[in-house]
Amino acid sequence: MDMKGKLGNVSFGGNWSEDILAKDQLNNILDFLDLVARNCADEDMRSDRLEHALTYVSEHIEKGETLAEALRKALALFEPLQRQKAAIRAVRLIGRSVREKGT
Protein backbone atom coordinates (compact mmCIF):
# COMPACT_ATOMS: atom_id res chain seq x y z
CA MET A 1 0.00 0.00 0.00
CA ASP A 2 1.37 3.45 -0.82
CA MET A 3 1.80 6.24 1.72
CA LYS A 4 -1.42 7.98 0.64
CA GLY A 5 -3.40 4.77 1.13
CA LYS A 6 -1.94 4.20 4.57
CA LEU A 7 -2.70 7.73 5.68
CA GLY A 8 -6.22 7.54 4.29
CA ASN A 9 -7.06 5.04 7.01
CA VAL A 10 -6.11 7.47 9.79
CA SER A 11 -8.74 9.82 11.15
CA PHE A 12 -7.04 12.30 13.45
CA GLY A 13 -7.43 16.05 13.38
CA GLY A 14 -4.88 18.42 11.94
CA ASN A 15 -3.01 18.47 8.69
CA TRP A 16 -0.06 16.30 9.73
CA SER A 17 -0.98 13.60 7.21
CA GLU A 18 -0.92 16.14 4.37
CA ASP A 19 2.49 17.32 5.62
CA ILE A 20 3.78 13.73 5.56
CA LEU A 21 2.49 13.29 2.00
CA ALA A 22 4.11 16.55 0.89
CA LYS A 23 7.46 15.50 2.43
CA ASP A 24 7.21 12.07 0.84
CA GLN A 25 6.43 13.57 -2.56
CA LEU A 26 9.26 16.09 -2.25
CA ASN A 27 11.72 13.35 -1.25
CA ASN A 28 10.66 11.32 -4.30
CA ILE A 29 11.21 14.35 -6.51
CA LEU A 30 14.65 14.99 -5.01
CA ASP A 31 15.59 11.35 -5.59
CA PHE A 32 14.45 11.67 -9.21
CA LEU A 33 16.43 14.91 -9.69
CA ASP A 34 19.53 13.17 -8.30
CA LEU A 35 19.04 10.44 -10.90
CA VAL A 36 18.67 13.05 -13.64
CA ALA A 37 21.91 14.77 -12.59
CA ARG A 38 23.83 11.48 -12.40
CA ASN A 39 22.71 10.29 -15.84
CA CYS A 40 22.61 13.53 -17.83
CA ALA A 41 26.17 13.18 -19.16
CA ASP A 42 25.19 10.03 -21.02
CA GLU A 43 21.60 10.71 -22.03
CA ASP A 44 19.11 13.51 -22.53
CA MET A 45 17.10 13.47 -19.31
CA ARG A 46 14.68 16.22 -20.33
CA SER A 47 11.15 14.83 -20.30
CA ASP A 48 7.58 15.46 -19.23
CA ARG A 49 8.35 13.76 -15.91
CA LEU A 50 11.23 16.18 -15.32
CA GLU A 51 9.01 19.14 -16.17
CA HIS A 52 6.39 17.93 -13.68
CA ALA A 53 9.09 17.62 -11.02
CA LEU A 54 10.43 21.10 -11.78
CA THR A 55 6.93 22.55 -11.68
CA TYR A 56 6.51 21.05 -8.22
CA VAL A 57 9.85 22.54 -7.16
CA SER A 58 8.80 25.94 -8.54
CA GLU A 59 5.53 25.89 -6.64
CA HIS A 60 6.63 24.40 -3.32
CA ILE A 61 10.09 25.63 -2.36
CA GLU A 62 11.58 29.06 -1.83
CA LYS A 63 13.30 30.36 -4.97
CA GLY A 64 12.00 27.24 -6.70
CA GLU A 65 11.44 28.91 -10.07
CA THR A 66 15.03 30.17 -10.17
CA LEU A 67 16.41 26.80 -9.10
CA ALA A 68 14.26 24.91 -11.60
CA GLU A 69 15.44 27.22 -14.37
CA ALA A 70 19.07 26.63 -13.35
CA LEU A 71 18.58 22.90 -13.79
CA ARG A 72 16.86 23.39 -17.16
CA LYS A 73 19.81 25.50 -18.36
CA ALA A 74 22.31 22.96 -17.04
CA LEU A 75 20.59 20.13 -18.92
CA ALA A 76 20.71 22.15 -22.14
CA LEU A 77 24.52 22.49 -22.08
CA PHE A 78 26.25 20.76 -24.98
CA GLU A 79 29.39 19.39 -23.27
CA PRO A 80 28.47 16.27 -21.24
CA LEU A 81 30.76 16.77 -18.22
CA GLN A 82 29.92 20.46 -18.02
CA ARG A 83 26.23 19.55 -18.23
CA GLN A 84 26.57 16.99 -15.45
CA LYS A 85 28.54 19.30 -13.14
CA ALA A 86 26.03 22.11 -13.61
CA ALA A 87 23.09 19.73 -13.08
CA ILE A 88 24.59 18.29 -9.91
CA ARG A 89 25.18 21.81 -8.61
CA ALA A 90 21.57 22.82 -9.39
CA VAL A 91 20.14 19.70 -7.71
CA ARG A 92 22.30 20.30 -4.63
CA LEU A 93 20.95 23.85 -4.40
CA ILE A 94 17.41 22.54 -4.66
CA GLY A 95 18.10 20.00 -1.91
CA ARG A 96 19.74 22.66 0.29
CA SER A 97 16.74 24.94 -0.14
CA VAL A 98 14.42 22.11 0.90
CA ARG A 99 16.51 21.29 3.98
CA GLU A 100 16.65 24.96 5.02
CA LYS A 101 12.88 25.15 4.83
CA GLY A 102 12.63 22.09 7.04
CA THR A 103 10.46 19.95 4.77
- Give Cα 13 to chain centroid, integer Å: 29
Report the range of poorest mean pLDDT among 1-5, 55-59, 65-69: 1-5
Distance CA(35)–CA(6), nearest Å, equals 27
Give me the pLDDT at residue 35, please. Answer: 98
Kindly calculate the radius of gyration of the chain based on its CA atoms and give it in whole angstroms. Answer: 15
Q: What tens digit of pLDDT does each residue of 13-65 get?
A: 555 545 555 778 889 999 999 999 999 999 999 999 999 999 999 999 989 99
Of the candidates 76, 74, 99, the residue with the CA atom closest to the CA atom of residue 89: 74
When comparing pLDDT for 62 and 6, which is higher? 62
